[in-house]
Structure 1
Amino acid sequence: MKTIHLAIISLLLISSKGLGQSTSPTILTSYPLSVTHQKTTTLIFPYAIKSVDRGSQDILAQKASGVENVLWIKAAQKQMEQTNLTVITTDGNVYSYLVNYAPNPTVLMLSYPASNKLSEKVHFSEMHSTQAQLKSTCQQILTRKQLFHRKKDRRFGISLHLEGIYIQGEVLYCRIRLHNQTAINYTMDQLRFSIHDQKQAKRTATQEQELSPIYIYSWADSTETIKAHSEQTWVIALDKFTIPDQKYVLIESSEKNGGRHLHLRIKNRTLVKAIPIAN
């Protein structure tokens, strides 16, 4: 009888030891990253950026306009507290950073190889279309007729047009055109999508949700500069979404080192008019 009890205790110890080994997490090291408020740090990834999470508002993070795999980082103020930054790319890699303030960072540009062993893989719950499929759909949308003629903002000789909204599976596509009618080149700083409240109560914080494109396409080789008396058209792919009546989508085009900024407000009744694209 004593022998049986000892055998059971031994089995329990072995089982608990094996369980502890199988469930113990892997500890990963974050990249050290120094930023300042007067210079921009550039991160170049081998694949398109899917999502960005900032540990605090003390750091500014923005995807480069017209580029899918480049992220610009800058401190929002001097002597910021230590924080973190997490970036996930479309190949499933996760990049984690421990961000500190430095008046003069020694490194302002980091580029990662495609076979990066220092990042961790994740698995998306719903896989997007491949880059080739997204590109093919965008090319098809660019050949279609313009759907909307009144969704535009015009000022300073620059006009921003929303020409159409399309849907294919879990991806929403927006066709955007910017027309430069002046003799001065327009260099785009960013083309930004975000969701806002229609009405904001007094003494409340601004509610804003940024929408990160999963793919951006244009016929032109250069998507940042719209030369004098010319125009540029993009198709921007986003995760499928709708919004309640109390909110709107804000599309913003801002000029780099300039003041010609334009914006469009899109309500849900426009979003639900999206035209389906066959697979």
Structure 2
Amino acid sequence: MKDFIFISIFLFVTVLTTAQTSFRLDTIYTNDQKNVALFFPEPIRQGITGSENFVFTYNREKGQYFGLLQAKPGKESNLLVVGKNGTVFSYIVTYKKKLDRLNYFIPTSKSFGNEKPIALDSTIVIEREVKTDNSTYYYNKFCSYLVDRKQRIGRLKKRNEGIVLSIENIVFDKKELYFVIQIENKSSLDYDLNFLKLSVETRKKGKKKSLQRLYQEPVFNYNLPSKVKENETVKLVYVLPKFSISNDRRAVLELNEKNGERNLKLKISHRFINHPN
């Protein structure tokens, strides 16, 4: 039955494609050691691979925007994905032992048609949605994925009067570091956020030892709250340009309370910065 459905869809897509201009399929690489995440602009309704050595998993009940691709060694195949609104995406999938990329954010422009062609008349003008800032779209989707992902880099946590600041994960993607941060308020009072800053500290040598601090400005932040209510936990992400530090330096994450004294400083060793996930 699965083969019949796949052949039917494949024949339909073939007919649809020949009616359009020549379209070259992109290739996605995967293996059996890591999950390759594919993010689509609309919830996935159906995803099928052409060979059994490739497996594409997605949430069939909730219709989420992303799916996970894995493969066993073998010949290349293809992946066909149909979105909730009928948008069709197709890719060549190939096994590769060493992967250079683990996340693919697929824009609507990569679609080569719709399973139900739209009839146009002379009085209707349909405009494609143009994303003015592709980087913001990418950051939002990837940060959302990281917040839901259950992966930790190590034990990085600081407490003060019922407020718990922790770094759940540090992930390197493209040219940036993603800091997945969690703030827990276990106290009976709301926590009003004044600022959350990341800096790098360097110890000056000499008779008068002191610290030199250089703040790192994030290029994007995701889900940064202004308030953490009592008994509430908030996860957020700071995106910073990729950097590394020597073993005589350390990163410091500072959480400061507005009109309060429940301030925290979480020190991060160079090994966590230099060896992210």
Highest RCO, 1 vs 2 (Cα 8 Å, sep ≥ 6): 1
TM-score under structure 1 length normalisation: 0.49
